[in-house]
Chains A and B, each alone.
Chain A
Amino acid sequence: MKKMLLSGLLLTMSATVTAETVFVTLEKDNALAIVDPVGGKLLKTVPVGQRPRGIAISPDNKVLYVATSDENTIKIIDSETLKELGRLPSGDDPETFALNPAGDKLYVSNEDDSMVTVIDIAKKQAIKQIKVGVEPEGITVSPDNRWLVSASETTNMVHWIDTKNHEISENTLVDPRPRAATFTADSQQLWVTSEMAGTLMVLDVNTKQIIKTIKFEATGVTSDKIQPVGIAIDKERRRGYVALGPANRVAVVNAQTFEVEKMLLVGSRVWNLAFSPDQKRLYTTNGVSNDLSIIDLENMAVTKSVGVGTYPWGVAVKP
């Protein structure tokens, strides 16, 4: 099985050596924007359903999952033909979700019901609902598949859910209104952003305790405007990148010393982030300026801004 996957991966890689494709959900256009990031061009826009927000690509890169919030479903979309292949029972108003590393389970935050829904993708069935804090938002699975983490915005906690029995085993109190949560590639740290306190917290996975809190500051921006959201950490854990929302900046954090090395000015209300497969570029969705910023990580500079449509929300990259 693994062999098959691997050869399949090699095949697709050789077929599209030129560059990756970037998919962006457009919350107000009910559409998906398809961008060629190397050429810096919007290739096309396709309708996808009412109010698309969260987006993820399967580990084999064959299908996209898109939460169409106003249709109360997560759509399965062929990443080549962009045709709908099926729908998953996500519960009400799905916004953010996470895939497990194997790509056979999907975990959805149901914000209005204070629940996390576990979906078996093959069966297209919800197999469990887990009661969490008020307004769960950020959700992620550790790369070693040990932990599912859900962050509740009003309860101000991250809940550590055991992936084996889908029960909460521990809770960590974090700064107010936690938004995104992301594990490092080695599954040793969990990074969590707090929108209200303007901080990034680094948690040790073994102790479940906060080991470092980084308070972001930017010249010419009042602290109220610094509202950290999306996080991306490179595989070698050299640097992490944090989208600062209405501060219109991406913070570059040294993932060893936790110093903020640089602030990169991008579009208005920068929300979510994604790496290129070679991790040489970072893509940001800017909700208010309606564009995608492309950051060249070798030179630490914003090289391009691509207009994509109204309210770009989530971003996924296909090699």
Chain B
Amino acid sequence: MLFKVIFHILCFNFIFFFATASAKNKQVIDIVYLTQEKSPPHFLSNFDIFVKNKGIFGAELAISDNNTTGKFTNQQFNLKKLIVPEDGAADDVFAKQIAGKYRYLVTVLPAEPLLKIADLPAAQQMLILDAGTTDDELRNGQCRSNVLHLLPTRTMRTDALAQYMMKKRWTKWFLVSGKAPEDLLFAEAIKRSAKRFNMDIVTEKPWEHTYDARRTVQSDVAVFSQVDDYDVLVVADEQGEFGEYLDYRTWLPRPVMGTQGLIATSWHRTHEQWGAIQLQNRFKEKAGRWMEEEDYAAYLAIRAIGEAATRTQTSELNPVKTYLLSDKFALQGYKGNPLSFRSWDGQLRQPVLLAAPQSLVTVAPIEGFLHPKSELDTLGFDQPESKCQWNH
């Protein structure tokens, strides 16, 4: 008898549940993804295959994760992908295909086209999630109130390296920098971190040798690196023009870190702790390759929108943005700590991985580097030093 009653209640509940679900209209959240084609750089090692479509598979995986949740919350997430040809203009594509049609834009673009788009009138009614830049300037003097940043900046990375170097007491650095503008920015970040953590840059030298380094590097590096004694060689070579050829060829037996050797990164194929192995597996199954940093950033960008839309039960820009920048927002990033946005510059707070090509060495912030609010804020520009003023 009792069983029968329970069963009836159950049936009723069931019908009721489905009735409400179908009566309500599905909430639709449209997200557009914008990137530009790149040709392979000239000086890449012969062994690494050039990955053409960094970011897209991360975005697709996040949309499918969002929709699994959306199935239960009656929300649907759609992704429109736009790829600008190498000779095209991203802001033109934005004006023609995005302006006025979308609220959420995820970009894997360099700083210049990103800023151009962010300053367009139509972009003022949008939220742009930048999954492509590491420039500190975009989070300082050139910050925009309609842009959030997913990748760790150069200073977050060099602070992570410096914390580890401090723990190892490798305090004397030999800084070798390339000549590209990006290399100079990375070298600047290195110098800032050295000062911040009381490291000593004993020698600084620009790399001036031939760029087809494979041929002559054997003799070049040995001669080039005959400098005053140091603990570690720090290299700034973002394009990978010569950095790979320093290790094992220096005059003194010293480790290499920076853009090659021990690197600081938001994601790495050797990372499998904190459930990361699940994300690595799901990604590899989808993309047939390892997850790159841009994929991870695009994944987080779209998961962040999903998480905020689910929690606020809306697709509207303002409540979603307010939620993203609030203390309540906590995103699972498979790196132990919950991720959140810095309210003063829109940068995603996150642990930074320190990785060698075949092994994960450690994760920063390194234990012992304390902060009154969040230890994640020991990496990069903290609130008191920030030059970002969002009201402009």
Contact = CB atoms under 8 A, between A and B. Distances in A.
Question: Are chains A and B native binding partners rather than an unrelated pairing?
Answer: yes
Given A156-B307, A176-B332, A224-B337, A169 B14 contact: yes
B69 A222 contact: no
B376 interface: yes
Interface residues of A, number: 31
A153 B282 CA distance: 14
B73 interface: yes
A176 B338 contact: yes
A180 B167 CA distance: 35
- By secondary structure, the B interface counts as helix
Given A155-B69, A176-B332, A224 B14 contact: no
Interface string B350-381: 00000000000000000000100011100000
A134 interface: yes
B69 A156 contact: yes
B172 to A, nearest CB: 31
Contacts of B275: 135, 153
A266 B156 CA distance: 33
A7 to B, nearest CB: 28
B112 to A, nearest CB: 35
Given A164-B10, A197-B338, A176 B330 contact: yes
A287 B281 CA distance: 23
Contacts of B73: 171, 173
Contacts, number: 72
A299 to B, nearest CB: 32
A259 B4 CA distance: 40
Contacts of A177: 332, 338
A26 B7 CA distance: 43
A170 B20 CA distance: 12
- By secondary structure, the A interface counts as loop
Contacts of A27: none
Nearest to A224: B337
A133 B336 CA distance: 21
A152 B278 CA distance: 13
Contact of A173 (B17, B278, B311, B374): B311
Contacts of A224: 336-338, 374-376
Interface in B307-339: 307, 310-311, 330-332, 336-338
A291 interface: no
Contacts of B375: 222, 224
B13 interface: yes
B272 interface: no
Interface string A210-234: 0000000000001110010000000
Given A112-B278, A155-B65, A169-B13, 6 more contacts: A155-B69, A159-B72, A169-B10, A196-B332, A222-B375, A224-B374
Interface of B: 7, 10, 13-14, 17, 65, 68-69, 72-73, 275, 278, 281-282, 303, 307, 310-311, 330-332, 336-338, 370, 374-376
Interface of A: 111-112, 114, 133-135, 152-157, 159, 162, 164, 167-171, 173, 175-177, 196-197, 222-224, 227, 246
17 contacts: A114-B68, A133-B68, A133-B69, A134-B68, A153-B332, A155-B69, A169-B17, A171-B73, A173-B73, A176-B307, A176-B332, A196-B331, A196-B338, A197-B330, A222-B370, A222-B375, A224-B376
